[in-house]
Amino acid sequence: MTCRTILQWPNKSLEDKSEECGNISDDIVENVNDVVDTLKASFGVGLAAPQVGIKKRIVAVAPSVAEIENPYPQEGFEDHLVLIDPVLETKGHQFTWNEACLSVPFVNAPVKRYSQVSLSFTSLKGERVNLDIGMPLAGILQHECDHLDGTLFIDRASRFFKEKLVKKLNKEARIFKKQRENEKRQLILETQGPGALRKYLSTQGGSSQKKTTRKKAGKSYGKNKKRK
């Protein structure tokens, strides 16, 4: 099992367009295994290869997490829908539903999608497969295939929601950074003692206390002028 790190927004690599896989080689199968293994470990609904740093057009979906059947189980991947070089043709009516993403944690947003898709993809045997997919899998596939073209669900959200999400994500990032720093300080204190902690803190900008300066006395005039 090879579990890769899921790239997090605002990592610029998530904006890149992925390349087609073409023929099914051992490297492509290895990439598929990495994507599926990472998806299993994350307990997510779906994952695209570029989310784990693989710039190939590969998508894996865990239908059981969405409580739906796998429309095309393959040998070794009975529990996952594995798509290589997928192509979607959207159809049906548009609707709005909430989406979340493993690469954009802590937030969700309403996104417009189509209720149906015609799906074409290459199987692990190198055969081209065509399926008609309805909701909710159609919405999931539109979300995951967006990743292959460098598009995140927040890019499809309204301007109001995107600004709101960006503020929330930045806040969560600051909180996470502060927690990590506090954990690091606690570890230094427990393992190396107060002296080492003071030394570490001195390298992080010194004391946080502001220097106090004595206000210069100004000249007095009128009634407040001191008499000699």
Catalytic residue numbers read 144
Q: Hey, which residues does 84 pair with through a beta bridge?
A: 58, 122
Helices (H), 43-158: 137-148, 153-156
Cis, bond preceding 10 (omega within 30 deg of 0): yes
3-state class percentages of the chain: helix first, strand second, coil last, to nearest 5: 40, 25, 35
User: Please, are residues 54 and 13 in contact by the beta-carbon 8 Å criterion?
Assistant: no
Helices and strands in the chain, H and E counts: 5, 5
**Residue 82 identity:** V
Helix (H, G, I), strand (E, B) or coil at 149: coil
CA distances from 74 to 35, 82, 205 (A): 15, 8, 57
Q: Hey, which residues does 109 pair with through a beta bridge?
A: 99
